[in-house]
């Protein structure tokens, strides 16, 4: 004790330094204790769709029957007979007026038949698995000035769009160029793209929930935050309207595979992040997984505690083709072969080092999330549910909303 007093006496500045150090530790502890974490569960996700009169000036590609009619006509039938063949496919299996089987009237994808037969129109396999064996049907692609998404490369290029709501230029979303002129995607909110909407509505009752959390000193103010995405152990709950319920509790899956963490900021109730890699495991028949390089997001924080906006990045284009091929042309309502060639054509990132072919395509997805509690495996609270959430969310929005948002 005497030695310690003597040292303080010899260096009178030390007590001040010690006091300042203790004060700093105290402030850091206070800041850490004051950190706020809010939890959310994703209530809707699908590719970001937006159209106006400029999007498809030459018309759309139609839907599944239109695809089959065009294929049958390429086999030499006139339009009138092609319509008869396609219209009666459930009755006669796709036969012409002379009783000949017309294989091109059969949809592609969607797995094997009940007997396991994968043959199609002279092929002993399903061309959905090897789409390059069929010619490019040259589907119509989205054009115009506007599309939803994010500026992923920080530039305004010849293929970029303008955001219809924010006016931001340089939006990178080549996925929309591929999908935008198919009837199933030619929709605006509150309508969802059919095949993704129905896939989500089915999967959400069996698939572990997708979670988001935001951590910062005061989330009601502008400032730096940390944004995390995780997969839950349990599934989402619904209310009496079929909405994803706000205020439910979810146990976070500790498997790091579906954990993505980003530095971000809140400014004027808009959440953004610094670019990074995103991965989330899904389930068939929904997205088997969703992953992006150079990920960005822009979420608007709502007064009711929910948030919505867009997440996007450069997505491996074969991931999305795989999702559609599993769904098949019956549920996907598209031409798998046309989608394959267009995804490959418009891919704009991550070139293969051996071939130089781009393996990823710029894409944007709409995300809606409602307040939720997050807990660890022992039941300890990780994130608070703040706010009542919206009246309708997720699959219920398009059903109960009477006007476009």
**222 has a pLDDT exceeding 70:** yes
Instruction: Tell me the mean pLDDT in the region 260-276.
Output: 98
317 with 245, same domain: the answer is: yes
Decide: 324 and 332 in contact? Cβ < 8 Å. yes
Mean local confidence (pLDDT), 133-148: 97
Do 367 and 299 lie in a common domain? yes
Q: Quick one: tokens of 277?
A: 């890699």
**Tens of pLDDT, residues 331-366:** 899 999 999 999 999 999 999 999 999 999 999 999
Q: Both 77 and 165 in a single domain?
A: no
Domain extent, residue 169, equals 36-57+140-400
- Does residue 287 share a domain with residue 165? yes
405, part of any domain: no
Please check whether residues 202 and 323 belong to one and the same domain: yes
pLDDT of residue 34: 57
In a domain, residue 75? The reply is: yes
> How many residues in the chain?
405
- Residue 16 sits in the same domain as residue 103: no
Helices 64-74, 317-332: crossing angle, 10 deg rounding: 90
Q: What percent of the chain has pLDDT over 70?
A: 89
Q: How confident is the model at residue 17 (pLDDT cuts 50, 70, 90)?
A: very low
Strands 210-216 and 36-47: antiparallel
What pLDDT does residue 335 have?
97
What are the Cα distances from residue 29, in Å, to 32, 33, 148, 265, 405? 5, 6, 42, 22, 44
DSSP state of 334: S
pLDDT of residue 284: 79
Is the model's pLDDT at 112 over the cut of 70?
no
38 phi and psi angles, rounded to 5 deg = -110, 140
372 and 310 fall within a common domain = yes
At 117, the pLDDT band (50, 70, 90 cuts) reads: confident
Q: pLDDT grade, residue 21 (50/70/90)?
A: very low
State yes or no: pLDDT of 20 exceeds 90: no
- As a whole number, mean pLDDT of residues 282-300 equals 94
Contact 140/60 with Cβ under 8 angstroms? yes
Mean per-residue pLDDT over the chain, rounded: 90
Beta bridge partners of 293: 314
- CB contact at 8 A, 399 and 242: yes
Q: Which of 93, 115, 133 is the last residue of a domain?
A: 133
Q: Where are the beta strands (DSSP E) in 101-179?
A: 161-162, 169-171
Count other Cβ atoms within 10 Å, centred on residue 181: 24
The H or E element containing residue 137 is none
How confident is residue 285, by pLDDT bands cut at 50, 70 and 90? confident
CA distance 362 to 70: 29
Single out the residue of 44, 48, 49 nearest to residue 395, CA to CA. 44
From CA 286, how far away is CA 363, in angstroms rounded?
17
If one counts the domains in the chain, the total is: 3
């Amino acid at each position: 004790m005497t030695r310690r007093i003597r040292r303080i006496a010899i260096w009178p500045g030390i007590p001040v330094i010690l006091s300042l150090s203790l004060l700093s530790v105290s402030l850091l502890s206070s800041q850490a204790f004051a950190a706020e974490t809010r939890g959310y569960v994703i209530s809707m996700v699908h590719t970001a769709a937006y159209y106006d009169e400029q999007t498809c000036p030459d018309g759309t590609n139609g839907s599944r029957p239109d695809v089959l009619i065009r294929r049958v006509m390429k086999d030499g039938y006139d339009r009138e007979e092609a319509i008869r063949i396609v219209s009666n496919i459930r009755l006669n299996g796709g036969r012409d007026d002379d009783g000949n089987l017309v294989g091109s009237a059969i949809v592609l994808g969607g797995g094997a038949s009940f007997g396991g037969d994968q043959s199609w129109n002279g092929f002993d396999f399903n061309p959905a698995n090897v789409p390059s064996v069929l010619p490019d049907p040259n589907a119509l692609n989205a054009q115009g000035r506007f599309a939803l998404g994010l500026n992923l490369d920080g530039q305004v290029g010849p293929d970029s769009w303008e955001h219809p709501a924010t006016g931001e230029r340089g939006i990178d979303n080549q996925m929309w160029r591929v999908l935008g002129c198919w009837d199933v995607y030619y929709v605006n909110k509150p309508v969802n793209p059919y095949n993704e909407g129905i896939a989500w509505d089915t999967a959400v009752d069996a698939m572990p929930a997708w979670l988001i959390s935001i951590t910062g000193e005061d989330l009601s103010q502008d400032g730096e935050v940390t944004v995390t995405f995780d997969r839950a152990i349990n599934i989402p709950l619904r209310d009496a309207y079929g909405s994803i319920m706000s205020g439910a509790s979810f146990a976070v899956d500790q498997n790091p595979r579906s954990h993505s963490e980003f530095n971000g900021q809140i400014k004027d109730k808009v959440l953004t992040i610094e670019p990074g890699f995103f991965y989330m495991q899904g389930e068939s028949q929904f997205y088997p997984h969703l992953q992006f390089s150079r990920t960005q997001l822009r979420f608007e924080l709502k007064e009711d505690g929910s948030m919505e906006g867009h997440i996007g990045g450069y997505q491996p284009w074969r991931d999305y083709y795989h999702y559609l091929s599993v769904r098949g042309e019956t549920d996907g309502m598209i031409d798998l072969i046309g989608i394959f060639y267009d995804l490959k054509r418009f891919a704009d990132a991550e070139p293969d080092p051996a071939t130089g072919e781009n393996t990823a395509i710029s894409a944007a997805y709409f995300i809606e999330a409602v307040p939720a509690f997050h807990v660890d495996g022992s039941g300890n609270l990780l994130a608070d549910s703040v706010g009542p959430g919206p009246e309708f969310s997720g699959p219920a929005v398009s059903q109960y909303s009477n006007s476009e948002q």
